[in-house]
Chains A and B, each alone.
Chain A
Amino acid sequence: MDADIIVVGSGPAGVSVSYPLVEAGLKVLMLDSGRNFQPKTSHIPYIERRANDCGQHKWILGENFYSLKNSKLASPKMRVPNYEDVFKLNSIEDNLITENFYVTTSKALGGLSNAWGCGVAMLSREEFSSYPFHYDEILESYEAVSRRIGISGAINDDMSNYFLLDQYSQLPIALGEMQKKIYEKYISYKLKINKNGMRIGRSRVAAISSPLSESRSECNSCGNCLWGCSRRSLYSAAYDLENLIKFPNFRLLSHSNVKSVISQEKFSEVQGVGISGEFRYKSLRVVLAAGTLSSTKIMLNSVENKVQRVSLKTSPSAGYLLWLPKFFGRSRSSEFSLGQLSFVQSLSDEIGHGFGSLFSIDSIPVIEFMRAIPFSSRNGLSFLAPLLSSCLVGNLFFPGKYSENLMEFTVDGALKIIGNYTKNFQLEADITEKKLRKNFFKMGAILLPGSFRLGQPGADIHYASTMPMKKNPRGLQVDKFGASLQLNRTHIVDGSVLPELSEKSHTLTIMANADRIGRYLSSNFK
Chain B
Amino acid sequence: MSDCKFILPDDIEVVIHLAAKNQESLEKEDEEIIGFRRLVDECNRVGALIIYVSSQTVLGPLISKYAKSKATFENIVISSNGIVLRLGQVYGGIEKGLFGSIVNFLKISPVMPQFFPSPQIQPVHVDDVVSALLFLSAQKSTGLYQLANPIPISFNKFLKLIKNHRVGEFRIILPILTVFLTYPFSLFKSNSNINNIGIRFKTLVSLPYMKPSAIFIKKNFLVRTLEDGMSKTGSAKLRRLIYEGSLIGKYLLCSDPSIGIIKRYVRYQVVSNKFALINRSYILWKFPALLGPYQAILSGKEGREFRHKIESMGAIAEASIDTYHRYIPDCSGYKIILCVLKMLLALISEFIIKTISAFKLLMSYCKFGR
A65-B268, A378-B251 known; A54 and B321 CB under 8 Å?
A: yes
Nearest-CB residue, chain B, relative to A65: B268
| Interface 1/0 per residue, A324-361 and B, CB below 8 Å | 00001111100000000000000000000000000000
Q: Verify if A366 is at the interface (C-beta below 8 Å from B).
A: yes
In Å, the complex CA distance between A370 and B272 comes to 22
A376 within 8 A of B: yes
Partner of A376, one of B295, B316, B324, B336: B295
Interface members, chain B 325-341 (any A CB < 8 Å): 326-333, 335-336, 339-340
Interface of A is mostly: helix
Interface hits, A30-78 → B, CB 8 Å:
47, 50-54, 56-57, 60-61, 64-65, 67-69, 71
B291 pairs with A61, CB closer than 8 A: no
User: Which of B291, B318, B347 has its CB near the most chain A CB atoms (within 10 A)?
Assistant: B318
A381 and B314 contact, Cβ closer than 8 Å, known pairs A329-B332, A375-B350, A389-B331:
yes
- Given known pairs A64-B271, A379-B292, the reply for A385 and B329 (CB within 8 Å) is yes
**B347 near A383 (CB under 8 angstroms)?**
yes
Question: Measured between alpha carbons, how far is A146 from B311 in the docked complex, in Å?
Answer: 42
Task: Report the bound CA distance from A67 to B264 in whole Å.
Answer: 13
Which 6 A-B residue pairings sit nearest by Cβ, starting from the closest?
A: A382-B346, A60-B319, A386-B339, A57-B319, A379-B346, A376-B292
Contact of B327 among A52, A371, A385 (CB under 8 A): A385
A57 touches B339 (CB 8 A): no
Known A65-B271, A379-B292, A385-B327: A371·B311 in contact at CB below 8 Å = yes
B320 interface hit (Cβ, 8 Å):
yes
Tell whether A377 is near chain B: CB-to-CB under 8 Å. Answer: yes
Interchain nearest-CB distance for B306 vs A (Å): 10
Judged by a CB distance under 8 angstroms, whether B159 is at the interface is no
Q: Are B318 and A367 in contact (CB under 8 A)?
A: yes
A328 near B350 (CB under 8 angstroms)? no
Q: Which residues of A sit under 8 angstroms from B272, Cβ to Cβ?
A: 65, 69
CB distance from A479 to the nearest CB of B (A): 50
Known: A331-B330, A378-B251. A68 touches B347 (CB 8 A): no
Contact of A377 with B311 in the complex, beta carbons under 8 Å:
yes
- Inter-chain contact A67/B315, CB cutoff 8 Å: yes
Least CB distance from B13 to A in Å reads 45
Partner of B314, one of A69, A328, A377: A377
A365 at the binding interface (Cβ < 8 Å)? yes
Known contacts A376-B293, A377-B311, then 11 further A-B pairs from the complex at CB < 8 Å, ordered by chain A residue: A56-B321, A60-B318, A367-B311, A367-B314, A367-B315, A370-B311, A375-B350, A376-B296, A377-B307, A378-B292, A378-B349
Bound-state CA distance A54–B295 (Å) is 30
A377 near B350 (CB under 8 angstroms)? no
Q: How far is the CB of B248 from chain A (nearest CB, A)?
A: 9
CB-based contact B315/A328 at 8 Å: no
- Tell me whether B252 and A381 are in contact (CB under 8 A): yes
Q: Does A387 contact B (CB under 8 A)?
A: yes
B176 interface residue (CB < 8 Å to A): no
B324→A50 contact, CB < 8 A: yes
- A381 (CB) vs chain B CBs: closest residue: B252
Q: Per a CB cutoff under 8 Å, which of B260, B321, B335, B345 touches A382?
A: B345
Among A57, A68, A366, A371, residue most surrounded by chain B Cβ atoms (within 10 Å)? A68
- Is there an interface contact between A68 and B295, defined as CB atoms closer than 8 Å? no
Residues of chain B from 281 to 301 with CB closer than 8 A to chain A in the complex: 289, 291-293, 295-296
Contact B336 A329 (CB under 8 A): yes
A386: contacting residue among B291, B314, B324, B343, CB under 8 A: B343
B142 at the interface (CB under 8 A from A): no
With A and B bound together, what is the CA distance between A51 and B347 in angstroms? 28
Asked if B59 is at the interface of the complex by the 8 Å CB criterion, the answer is no
Q: A61-B316, A61-B319 are in contact. Are A51 and B350 (CB under 8 A)?
A: no
Asked if residues B331 and A328 are in contact (CB atoms below 8 Å), the reply is: yes
The answer to whether A377 and B295 touch across the interface, beta carbons within 8 angstroms, is yes
Kindly state the separation between the CA atoms of A47 and B314 in the bound complex, as whole angstroms: 19
Q: Point out the residues of chain B lying under 8 angstroms from A385, CB to CB.
A: 326-329
Question: What is the number of contacts between chain A and chain B, taking CB atoms within 8 Å?
Answer: 123
Bound CA–CA A69/B314 (angstroms): 14
Query: Residues of B contacting A328 with CB < 8 Å?
Result: 331, 336
- Known A54-B321, A57-B319: A71·B311 in contact at CB below 8 Å: yes
The interface size of chain B toward A, counting residues with CB under 8 Å, comes to 48
CB of B210 within 8 Å of the partner chain: no
Is B312 on the interface with A (CB-CB < 8 A)? yes
B318 & A389 in contact (Cβ 8 Å cutoff):
no
Q: Give Cα A50–Cα B311 distance, bound, in whole angstroms.
A: 19
For B362, what are the chain A residues with a Cβ–Cβ distance below 8 Å? none
- Min CB distance, B153 to chain A, in Å? 36
**Whole-angstrom distance between the Cβ of B349 and the nearest chain A Cβ:** 5
B308 at the interface (CB under 8 A from A): yes
**A51 to B320, alpha carbons, bound, how many Å?**
8
> What's the Cα separation between A373 and B316 when bound, in Å?
19
- A280 to B: closest C-beta gap in Å: 41
Q: Which of B263-281 contact A (CB under 8 A)?
A: 264, 267-268, 271-272
Bound-state CA distance A165–B3 (Å) is: 105
Supposing A57-B319, A332-B328 touch, asked if A377 and B271 sit within 8 A by C-beta, the answer is no
Question: Contact at B350–A376, with CB atoms within 8 Å?
Answer: yes
CA distance A194 to B316 in the complex (A): 44
B336 touches A378 (CB 8 A): no
A57 touches B314 (CB 8 A): no
Interface residue B353 (Cβ < 8 Å from any Cβ of A): yes
**Closest B-chain residue to A50, C-beta based?**
B324
Q: In the complex, which of the residues A331, A375, A381 has the most CB atoms of chain B within 10 Å of its own CB atom? A: A381
A123 CB to closest chain B CB, in angstroms? 40
Partner of B316, one of A53, A57, A332, A389: A57
Whether A382 and B316, one on each chain, are in contact in the complex, defined by CB atoms closer than 8 angstroms, is no
Chain B residues near A71: list those with CB within 8 A. 308, 311-312, 315
The docked-state distance in angstroms from the alpha carbon of A300 to that of B264 is: 46
* Smallest CB separation, A127 vs chain B (Å): 41
Query: For the complex, what is the distance from the CA of A385 to the CA of B338, rounded to whole Å?
Result: 13
Question: Any chain A CB within 8 A of the CB of B217?
Answer: no
The answer for the CA separation of A53 and B321 in the assembled complex, in Å, is: 7
A64-108 CB mask vs B (1 if < 8 Å, else 0) is 110111010000000000000000000000000000000000000
- Pick the residue among B267, B268, B308, B331 that contacts A329 (CB under 8 A): B331
Q: List 15 A-B contacts (CB under 8 A).
A: A50-B324, A51-B321, A56-B321, A61-B264, A64-B271, A65-B271, A65-B272, A67-B315, A329-B333, A329-B336, A377-B252, A378-B252, A378-B254, A378-B292, A386-B343
A71 nearest CB neighbor, chain B only: B311
Q: Which residues of A contact B222 (CB under 8 A)?
A: none
In the complex, which residues of chain B have a beta carbon less than 8 angstroms from the beta carbon of A375? 346, 350
